[in-house]
Every structure is written in structure tokens, then in C-alpha cells.
Amino acid sequence: MHSDKKDFYEKNGYVILEKIFSDEEAEFFNRCVRRHANKSFAALINPDRYESLLEQDERPKSDITLSEIQETSALARSIMTDERMVSLLDIFHEKKTVGLSSQFIFKEAYSDYSSQAWRPHQDNFYPKSKNAAYITLNWFLRDADKENGTIYCYPGSHKLGLLPAENNISFREKVGDNPGSECDIPEDFKDKKTDIIIPANSVVILNGNCIHGSHPNNSNRSRPWYSSCYISEGEEFVIGKSSKREKINLKKP
């Protein structure tokens, strides 16, 4: 299954898989998470953890908001650990994995963060897996192209290992600043920047060492994206002040 996609992933360090979830699931999840956005539509870290979502939800607390936080965090966790995600990891990553953290990026049209454009970085800069054992599954709930802030990659850069990078703020940075710990792009890769055009309801698998960034959203279309992060079982990782990575079992006991 997915053998042509697997070859593509191994060569390039990323791959797009359409409709792993149903369109109804994508629409429902998007609606659930949007309830918790603040006025600026800042990213939510670990929305799959009740306490984390509770801390970031700025609405007045009531029995209704608390039950919504309960519902969304359970749903976000069930997506991260869903058997469809696990089977993608089995095929593309091949090693047994555990979940570590998650993030929801709204890139809401006309919001304070619509202009947010990530500098070129490697996701593994943050957890610092020594054996390139870090991987993310990124569920794009709506279509993404250059106008509404899609990601770009440097295909093949996942084979370079972890590169030197600046330590920039990458979570709740000041509006107008661009997040991402920018890495040095080797000379041979400088002309390889490729925009990734993503159909609505696709999962983009991204090798933790693949250099990528994103464009600002200059359109009237939001670009919501749920990113689940994983590492091979038994590998070391940095916990991180914002991400607070912790091992999350994917298989039911």
C-alpha cells in the first residue's frame, strides 16, 4: 500500500496523502477547535491535553466551555492516536512510535496571525532526536496554496541531519514577527525551495529533518492545520518549555 508515495517520501522527506480521514471528520474537527481560538487566532499547543486547552481558552469558564474543552481535547487526542495515523507511521516511518505533542495552527484569514510565515527550519531542531527519529503528521483541514500560506520544503534536505540554527521564538511570538529557528541552508539546496500545494483534508507527512517554512496568508481563505508529532519508541528527546513533550501511547493496551 502507498508504495509510490513511500518512494516519494524517502526521496524528498515529505509526502501528501489525501482523505485519510473523511471530509465530515475534517469539517467537524475544525469547527470544534475554532471554539477555543483567542481573538488573534494564535496557535494552540497540545490541544489534545485538557489542562493545556483549558489554559489557552480565554473565554469565561462555564459548564458549557468546560464540556467543550473536554470534547475537543479528547477528539484531538483520538486523532493523534487514531489507527489510520498509526498505520501511516507503520508504513512511512517503519519504527514503532509514541506521540509527543501536538499543535493547531489556524492561519485564520484577516486575523492577527494571518501574516505569520515560518522561517525555514527543521522540526527536529526542537526535540533534537539524535537518530532522525522524529516525524510529524500534519492534517490540513482545508486546501493550502501559496496565497493562503501553504508550506514550502527543500526536498531531500532530510538526509542532511540536524543543521546549525538560530534559536528563535516559535510559539506565541509577537504579532508581526516570524517564528521558526532558521537553519543554514546548504548551497546545493538554495534553489530547491518547493511550494507544497495541498488539497483540502490531506495529511502531509514531514520528516523531522526536512527543511521547511510557510508563506503568509494574504487571501480570504483560512488555512487550519493540526500537527501531531511522534518519535520512535526508546529515542531520547528534549521536553521543551512550550511543547512539554511527553510519551503518549498510540496502541490500546
Cα 79 to Cα 81: distance, rounded to the nearest angstrom = 5
- Selection from 240, 192, 228 nearest residue 93 by Cα: 228
Q: How far is the CB of 220 from Fe ion (least distance, A)?
A: 25
Residue 43 or 248 having the CB closest to Fe ion: 43
The count of C-alpha atoms lying within 13 angstroms of the C-alpha of 199, restricted to the half-sphere facing its C-beta, is: 9
Candidates 35-43, 56-64, 115-123, 140-148; binding stretch for Fe ion (CB under 5 A): 115-123
Q: How far apart are CA 93 and CA 90, in angstroms?
A: 6
Candidate ranges 13-21, 85-93, 122-130, 138-146; the one touching Fe ion (CB under 5 A): 122-130
Q: How far is the CB of 46 from Fe ion (least distance, A)?
A: 16
* Pairing status of strand 225-232 against strand 202-207: unpaired
Q: Which lies closer to Fe ion via its Cβ, residue 57 or residue 223? A: 223
Give yes or no for residue 182 binding Fe ion (CB under 5 A): no
Task: Establish if 123 lies at the interface with Fe ion (CB under 5 A).
Answer: yes
Say how many Å lie between the first and final Cα of the chain, rounded.
26
Q: What is the closest distance, in whole angstroms, from the C-beta atom of residue 234 to Fe ion in the complex?
A: 24
Question: What is the number of the residue whose Cβ is closest to Fe ion?
Answer: 123
Residue span binding Fe ion (CB under 5 A) among the ranges 88-96, 106-114, 120-128, 160-168: 120-128
Least distance to Fe ion from the beta carbon of 251, Å? 26
Q: Determine the Cα angle at 23 with ends 4 and 32, to 5°.
A: 125
Stretch that binds Fe ion, among 32-40, 119-127, 138-146, 236-244 (CB under 5 A): 119-127
What is the identity of the amino acid at 2?
H
The Cα-based distances of 231 to 18, 132, 135, 238 in angstroms read 23, 9, 6, 11
Chain positions 196 to 235 lying near Fe ion, rule: CB under 5 A, are none
Least spacing, CB of residue 121 vs Fe ion, in Å: 6
Q: Which residues pair with 172 in a beta bridge?
A: none
Which residues contribute to the site for Fe ion (CB under 5 A)?
123
